Amino acid sequence: MNIFVIPAWHPTPEKPHLARWVMPHIEVSRRIGTVTVLHVEQSHGENEQVSVSQEHDYYYAKVNIEAKNIFRRTIIGYGKSLVEYTKALKLLYEKAVAHNGKPDIIHAHVSAPAGFSAARIGRDYGVPVIVTEHYSGFFSDNRFFWRLPYFSHQMRRSIKGLYAVSPGFKASIENKCNIEVNGVLPNPIDTSLFKPKVTENKSSVLKIVSTGTVGSIKGTDILLKAISRLPKGLKYKLKIIGNYDFKDKEINELLRNPHVELLGHKMQSELASIYSNSDLFIVSSRIETANVSMLEAMSCGCYVIAPKINAPETLLSETVSSIYEAKNIDDLVKNIETLPSFSREKQRQFVIENYGLQSVTRQLKRAYKRALIL
């Protein structure tokens, strides 16, 4: 099968850590067929010329859009940038077809702009398209008629399947946006990289970890407040992995806790080592569509505590996790205090069976097959 993958974001030489989550998705597609990646990067600059490059099966173009435009994500403003994005994508598509032949299927990741433009390419060239939605901003983009719902509904009518990365996210899209979602294609986890190196914690210190950009959206304030309320007799160490660009006065004060360590960004191999030497992974986000880090940590043997926000918790089971009421600090504290005994191997097995590369490959095969027979 000849597959063209179109991600809205993808790592680049200048931004090697950008959207690393998309790489396992591409790997899963490669397990099904021959993959060509078409990546159009939108940047803010004055140069209107489209720069194009190719390296093996990766075709890349950069287009410039207006940096400061209050109408950027409205039907008027986005329509203009979408025209330029689609032109660049069509250029990459034609180059890729000349080298690799016409694709059997196109798989886009994130509707805006990849899915919107992929739908047009598929329509113009007679290729079935499916889209996997990952973006938490999908709801705000489709909340008002003057935002982007026109493009979302136009895309949905043209493609052969729309998928979400968690059951909760799927339900929310259907309920809030009145857009049919055909199923769930979860984030695949590379369990060969994320694996336990410690069979049990012999330390008396509870090793807690959390990953994500420090700030309100990831609920760093919720996590730090909960940690500060733990009983004095409980020995713990919290490691927070993620960039902290926007300095928040309250978070700054909470970070003075001597039991908290802010590590910044880490490579995948470093993450695997940290998770393997941790006991508990906490999700404290106010909004999510799924949570890749949570599953990576679980694959390394961590127990997970997650909030009830109709996304990450829908990927879990009560046998491997505890769920607390969103933004409820006392409930989070209670769940940390009552952390049950658990088997690191059983935590890992749950991920292998549901989100390992082999498992997600089977799920993706079904989605491709469905698109090809419709």
In this model, does residue 293 exceed pLDDT 60?
yes
**What is the predicted pLDDT for the residue at 33?**
98
Query: How do residues 245-255 score in pLDDT, each as one tens digit?
Result: 767 888 888 88
Give the pLDDT of residue 48: 59
Cα 81 to Cα 77: distance, rounded to the nearest angstrom = 7
Question: Residues of the chain with pLDDT > 90: what percent?
Answer: 78
Cβ contacts of 320 within 8 Å, gap of 6 or more: 298, 303, 304, 342, 346, 347, 350
Question: Model pTM?
Answer: 0.93
Across the chain, what does the average pLDDT equal?
A: 93
- Identify the pLDDT of residue 200: 61
Confidence label for 343 from pLDDT (cuts 50, 70 and 90): very high
Q: Does domain 2-187+356-373 have CATH number 3.30.420.40?
A: no
Q: Taking the domain 206-355, which CATH number applies?
A: 3.40.50.2000
Instruction: For the chain, give every domain's residue range.
Output: 2-187+356-373, 206-355
DSSP-derived pairing of the beta strands 51-55 and 58-65:
antiparallel
User: Cα–Cα distance between 321 and 28 in angstroms, integer?
Assistant: 26
Residue-level pLDDT at 66? 62
pLDDT of 266: 92
pLDDT band at 68 (very low <50, low <70, confident <90, very high): low
The dihedrals phi and psi of 165, each to the nearest 5 degrees, come to -90, 0
178 backbone φψ class: left, alpha, beta (φ>0; ψ -120 to 50): left
pLDDT in tens, 165-180: 999 999 999 999 999 9
pLDDT of residue 46: 55
Residues in the chain: 374
Task: Confirm whether 2-187+356-373 and 206-355 share one CATH topology.
Answer: yes
Distance of CA 324 to the CA centre of its chain: 22
Taking the C-alpha atoms of residue 7 and residue 338, their distance in angstroms, rounded to an integer, is 41
What φ, ψ does residue 147 adopt, rounded to 5°?
-90, -120
Task: List pLDDT tens digits, range 183-194.
Answer: 999 999 999 999
